A and B are shown apart, each in its own frame.
Chain A
């Protein structure tokens, strides 16, 4: 199984590997798993609460080259986007950018899930900090 050049680019070396401070109110953490192949992705975003712009993103992934590349690409795309733009990122865009074969599409789906989980975590932290925002 030959890898596309794009996948290799994200592997040698991968971009944005690392961790952000989980406990910080500006950081959202998403950890997702794909039962079918055992992959695990952790994706974190640091959001500017005033502007809603993602200032930093980091990832760690246990999985094949395509999974690593998908999550690395995701962090690259997230930096500079707003939270709502991040939620609009679709796995199909990742598939196209990395030229993922059919058997690896689930890796891109996992990356999309990781983004949503991270944003979701950030949002729930923000809501918890501002209880008046919950009032309808």
Chain B
């Protein structure tokens, strides 16, 4: 077992060796521009791109023509939100999203607000899910888009996508989903879920960084977008720019592998995640899982995510203590702005639990041995830090921490 151990697979994933092999020929052998129509260099590159389009479409229940290549999910989110807002401006100027979206969606919404679009940010309940009645009530005759992420990157909760899709269809509103964390991990089907636009990225599913896609529905209804990258009209006029052929090939290969292996892998991921969770919760007291955890039900949570708070211990000091393990924390100390995780705050957990949270993202290349090691190290360090913690000392003495007043400076 090698250290350091990587268990931060929501941040990014290691490339699968099979993806790397698939990409290799496209740097120095099949290196043509896929838009070069007049020679075999271009034709071969184009063929590889079209193959990848199909591989991606197959994974999400779409058709190849509905896949637009981008530089990643951030760009796909920008294209979906801005592209729809601009194209459908005559029809309306209202967008509905929710508070625990990724910054790529939230910041894009803020930009649109500055340009005069109205945005409703739906709150989430303590389990991280939106309230469907609130969604229904928020829709007006000016609403042109609902954007709700499929699975959250911090707490792994999966939103009720089919139900949202039904509501959107009922009211004639387009439905976009940032599915970067869900694609390749849980079954995503744009037809069954009623999704009209979907963002995905390569580096979250053991593929390359710097490439992603936006699914844009062509039938029932035909969705149109105003391009955000102009210049050449690539991707049916929706996204100009020479295609990143090797990246696209990698993305396609990663999607094909995911489709083939998802069922088995989900079982293994859940097993490892539950083993980690059970070990931590049985050996330590005052440990809380953040977000819905319907006992491994993949309808509500990603199988490989565990976001957990260790009361009275600061997340960053815990990370420093487990310095041969790569995970992340919602603690304010780890962020440049000293703000604790906005996702955890939105759950209503309270700043103290946000400060004490650790996010584990188990991945394809983690082993059971690694999980055991990580569990033991975390337990050891949490115990040590609780010895150091004035809050733990007070809590053990029966002091009500909410009543303690501290000399602030």
B333 at the interface (CB under 8 A from A): yes
Kindly provide the distance from the CB of B233 to the nearest chain A CB, expressed in whole angstroms: 44
Whether B314 pairs with A62 at a CB distance below 8 angstroms is: yes
Is the C-beta of A60 less than 8 angstroms from some C-beta in chain B? yes
CB within 8 Å of A: which of B355-409? 355, 387-393, 404, 406-409
Q: A36-B338, A38-B352, A39-B314 are known contacts. Are A61 and B389 too (CB-CB below 8 A)?
A: yes
Q: How far is the CA of A69 from the CA of B48 in the complex (A)?
A: 55
A residues 101-128 in Cβ contact with B at 8 Å:
103, 106, 109-110, 113, 117
Query: Contacts A11-B321, A65-B317; is A103 near B338 (CB within 8 Å)?
Result: yes
Counting chain B CB atoms within 10 Å of each CB, the highest count among A17, A64, A103 belongs to A64
B407 and A14 form a contact (CB under 8 A): no
Of A26-34, A46-54, A82-90, which binds chain B?
Answer: A26-34
Contact A62 B390 (CB under 8 A): yes
A37 at the interface (CB under 8 A from B): yes
**A residues within 8 A CB of B331?**
38, 64
Q: Interface on chain A toward B: helix, strand, loop, or mixed SS?
A: mixed
Report if B340 contacts A (CB, 8 A): yes
Contact status A31-B390, CB under 8 Å? yes
Within 8 A of A (CB), among B327-350: 331-334, 336, 338, 340
Provide the B313-325 mask, 1 if CB < 8 A to any CB of A, else 0.
1101100110000
Q: Is A80's beta carbon under 8 Å from chain B?
A: no
Which size bracket describes the interface of B in this complex? 20 to 34
Q: Nearest-CB distance from A35 to chain B (Å)?
A: 6
Q: Is the CB of A14 within 8 A of B408?
A: no
**B86 on the interface (CB 8 Å rule)?**
no
With A and B bound together, what is the CA distance between A30 and B332 in angstroms? Answer: 23
Given known A3-B320, A37-B338, contact A63–B333 (CB-CB < 8 A) = yes
Does B235 have its Cβ within 8 Å of any Cβ on chain A?
A: no
Closest Cβ–Cβ distance, residue B310 to chain A (whole Å): 11
CB pair B408–A38 under 8 Å, yes or no, is no
Question: Is the Cβ of B390 less than 8 Å from the Cβ of A42?
Answer: yes
Determine if A41 and B408 form an interchain contact, defined as CB atoms under 8 angstroms apart: no
Judging by beta carbons under 8 Å apart, are B317 and A60 in contact? no
A34 to B404, CA, bound (A): 14
**A117-B407 in contact (CB<8A):** yes
Residues A68 and B388 in contact in the complex (CB < 8 Å), given A32-B408, A62-B314, A110-B409: yes
Q: Which residues from A are CB-within-8-Å of B321?
A: 11
- Knowing A17-B388, A38-B340, the reply to whether A64 touches B333 (Cβ < 8 A) is yes
**Which has the most chain A C-beta neighbours within 10 Å: B316, B321, B391?**
B316
Partner of B316, one of A14, A32, A34, A65: A65
A19 within 8 Å of B (CB atoms): yes
Residue of B whose beta carbon sits closest to that of A35:
B408
CA distance A19 to B406 in the complex (A): 18
Q: Which residue of A lies closest to B391 (CB)?
A: A62
Is B206 located at the chain interface by the 8 A CB criterion?
no
A63/B317 in contact, CB under 8 A = yes
Contacting pair B406 A31 (CB below 8 A): yes
Q: Given contacts A35-B408, A36-B338, A64-B331, is CB(A14)–CB(B391) below 8 Å?
A: no
Quick check: is A40 within 8 A (CB to CB) of the other chain?
A: yes
Q: Are A65 and B338 within 8 A (Cβ)?
A: no
Contact, CB under 8 Å: B387 / A109: no
Cα–Cα, bound, A11→B387 (Å): 13
In the complex formed, the residue of A with least CB distance to B389 is A62
Nearest CB in chain B: distance from A18 CB, A: 9
A–B complex contacts, Cβ < 8 Å, 22 sampled? A1-B334, A11-B320, A14-B388, A34-B408, A36-B332, A37-B355, A38-B332, A40-B391, A60-B388, A60-B393, A62-B313, A62-B391, A63-B316, A63-B317, A64-B331, A65-B316, A65-B317, A67-B317, A67-B333, A109-B409, A113-B407, A117-B407
Interface residues of B (CB under 8 A from A): 312-314, 316-317, 320-321, 331-334, 336, 338, 340, 351-352, 355, 387-393, 404, 406-409
Q: A8-B320, A39-B333, A64-B334 are in contact. List 6 more A-B contacts (CB 8 A).
A: A11-B317, A31-B404, A60-B393, A62-B389, A65-B320, A113-B407
